[in-house]
Amino acid sequence: MTVKTRFAPSPTGRLHVGNARTALVNWLYARAHGGVMQLRIDDTDRERSREDYVAGVLADLDWLGIPADESFRQTERADRHAAAFERLVACGRLYPCYETPEELSARRAAQLAAGRPPVYDRAALALSDADRAALEATGRRPHWRFRLDDRETSWEDLVRGRIDVHAGSLSDPVLIRADGAPTYTLATVVDDAETGVTHVIRGEDHITNTAAQIQLFHALGAAEPHFGHLAWLLDAGGAGLSKRVGSLAVAELREDGMEPLAVAAFLARLGTSDAIEPVAGLDELVASFDISRFGRAAARFDPADLVQLNARQIRRLDAGGVRARLVGLGVPDDLVAPFWDAVAGNIERIAEAGRWWQVVAGPVTPVIEADETSQAVLAAARDTLPPEPWDETTWSAWTRGIQGLTGVKGRGLFRPLRLALTAAEHGPELKKLLPMIGAARAAARLSGRDA
């Protein structure tokens, strides 16, 4: 049996990091077991589904490096959903209901007020043919519910171990809406069964859905897949993630300069017992992947932690891996290697290297402090500026000479030089930047001129 997982987003919003984590875990599970991942666009909600969101899902998965092995849209299989509906009606597992949303809401409120669970009471089963005809004569159209067997449904969850759910705690799920469209529950079971999905890995909010869906698989004569339910992913403040409330989208991470491999490493291990570390590639995540390491407690996605990991991830990149992007920031091709060696440890995003190239190439407005010590250091620096060519030994030899002339050392020596040469108090090692700044720009900046 070939393992087949699936990622089934609804194109009603941008992919947020919780969705991306689900997609990544499905991809990793499939790859770790020699299988494939299916992408199913759950577009049965025709009113809210949008093509730009479909395009966004595809772009986000490609950016993360986890494109699907096969894909389709649920609306392409409408005939299969309709056929399943007919089979379920024929075997007596579906029944028509005529309550309006307002009536159902009032009924649930009354049940809660009475201290009872808000479970559908199957009132529609008591309707006679004449009752149904009368309701339809007023313009009402039925929605169709799947009658659950009154029994316990159990499965061995890939993440949470054994789970038991009694049908008495559930409402009979609606499978067909009043407009005739299939709901998620019907479409997902039919598609999973008929396209060979073997493992369904999704969020813990689907646990009760799973209990009903297992019964639906059986009613359709299909074996249910293996299920795994990941604990919720929360934002830094402890709230649940949702595309409807503007939670952090994958596209925002891309726009913010996060590396896709850093995002993947972060999401793949968030909520596990594994340390979140930079990785050499997705193959490393596949090799170490074990779904049993995910815990039951909700994990928090803190963007600040991701930024820190991103900084560590880019330090693992060699100059060849960033050459095109640095050239795009203005770094000459022949200086990419020494420049990257100088700045990689001082940035959190590769785009930030552009700031340090500005420091190298100018113009830079030097910061010249008026205190006596700074003035003495800068005067000595101008007087002893060494002739080119310069290399990484130039800085230490030059500053030793300045110290000998002025008697100033430590912060009093280095701070005035850094402020004049870079207009910043902190940054990459000057022994590496100085040869690229060059003598002409250094002399001008030491004298307080933009260069």
Binding site for ATP, by residue number, is 243
Pairing of strands 233-235, 299-301: parallel
Q: Give the 3-state secondary structure of residue 6.
A: strand
Q: Judge residue 341's burial from the number of C-beta atoms within 10 Å of its C-beta, 0-12 exposed, 13-18 middle, 19 or more buried.
A: middle
Contact indicator for 450, 362 with CB cutoff of 8 Å:
yes
CB atoms < 10 A from the CB of 137, how many?
8
CB atoms < 10 A from the CB of 96, how many?
19
* Nearest Cα residue to 97 out of 110, 107, 87: 107
Contact indicator for 131, 94 with CB cutoff of 8 Å:
no
Residue type, 432: K
Query: What is the sign of the dihedral through the CA atoms of 97, 102, 105 and 110?
Result: negative
| Segment holding 187, helix H or strand E | helix 184-194
89 φ, ψ (degrees, to nearest 5): -65, -45
Taking the C-alpha atoms of residue 326 and residue 336, their distance in angstroms, rounded to an integer, is 7
Terminal Cα distance for the chain, rounded: 67
Cis ω for the linkage preceding 389 (within 30 of 0): yes
59 φ, ψ (degrees, to nearest 5): -65, -40
Binding residues: 243
Q: Can you read off the two tokens belonging to residue 296?
A: 């039951």
Largest CA distance in the chain: 108
Cis ω for the linkage preceding 118 (within 30 of 0): no
Task: Tell me how many helices (H) and strands (E) the chain has.
Answer: 18, 12
Residue at token pair 């207009």: 423
Q: Can you read off the two tokens belonging to residue 392?
A: 């990484």
DSSP string, 367-427: ----SHHHHHHHHHHHHTPPPSP--TTHHHHHHHHHHHHH---THHHHHHHHHHHHSSSS-
Pairing of strands 4-7, 36-41: parallel
Q: Tell how far CA 106 is from the center of its chain.
A: 38
